[in-house]
Amino acid sequence: MIQHHPDMSTLISYAAGALSSNFTQLVKCHVENCSDCQAKIQEGEQLGGQLLNMHPSSSEATQTSSFDDFWKTNINERVFSEANIVAPTSYEDMIESLKDGQKWKSLVPGIGQIKLMDGAQGTLRLFKIAPGMAIPLHTHNGNEMTLILKGSYSDELGRFKAGDVADVDDDTDHQPIADTGEHCICLIATEAPLKFKGLLPRLMQPFIGL
C-alpha cells in the first residue's frame, strides 16, 4: 500500500510536461503504479477543463484553443496514453529495465549506485542501501525526489516502502536508513549536488560523486 506521494505541485508540473527529464522518469515510475496519483492527475485535468469553460469570451477564444491543444497534447496524449498503454510492471522488472545491463558501483561499503542520467538539470540514479546502512545526513541545493523500488527506509519524514515517493526541497534535512533485513533499492532524482553536513561526508563528496 503506497503511503507517500509526490506533492500536488509536482504532479501538476509532471502532467504539464514541466518537470526536467530525470524527475519526469521518476514520477512516471510512481504514477504508473499509483491509482491515487492517476486519479489526482485526472481531477486536475477535469478542473482545468471546467476553468476553461467558466470564462468563455471572444477575446480569449484563441488563447483557450491553444491552451486546449496544449492540455490535450500534454495530458491526454503524452501522460495518459503513455501511462495507460504500459501494462503495470513489477518493480523488479523496472529495476532491471532501468539498469539495462549496468553494474552497481560501490560508493562506500554498503551503498551502491548506478547513474542513469547526469546533466545540467541534475541526476537520476539507482541506489542500493544495505540493511542498517544510512545515507549521510544532508540537505539539498534544490529538489530531491526518491522512489522506493524494493525494501524500505526510515528517516525524519517517516517510513518509506516500495512505491512510496519522498518529495523533499532544500529546507529538508534527512538521513535515510535501510530498516529491514533486505537491501533498499531506490530511484533518486536530484536537481543539484547534495550538501552534506559534517567533515567526513564533505571530504568524501568529491570521491563518491554525490
The site for Zn ion (CB under 5 A) is made up of 5, 34, 36-37
Tell me the C-alpha distance between 202 and 129, whole Å: 20
Each residue of 33-59: b (16+ CB within 10 Å) or e?
Answer: bbeebbebbeebbeebeeebeeeeeee
- Residue 121 corresponds to which cell in the numbers above? 538539470
Residue (28 or 99) nearer to Zn ion, CB: 28
Least gap, CB of 184 to Zn ion (angstroms):
19
Least gap, CB of 59 to Zn ion (angstroms):
38
Residue (37 or 188) nearer to Zn ion, CB: 37
User: CB–CB of 15/79 below 8 Å?
Assistant: yes
Residue (37 or 187) nearer to Zn ion, CB: 37
Least gap, CB of 2 to Zn ion (angstroms):
6
Residue (37 or 184) nearer to Zn ion, CB: 37
Which residues on adjacent β-strands are paired with residue 161? 152
Rounded to whole angstroms, the maximal C-alpha distance in the chain is 65
Least gap, CB of 151 to Zn ion (angstroms):
19
The candidate with the shortest Cα–Cα distance to 140, out of 159, 168, 165, is: 168
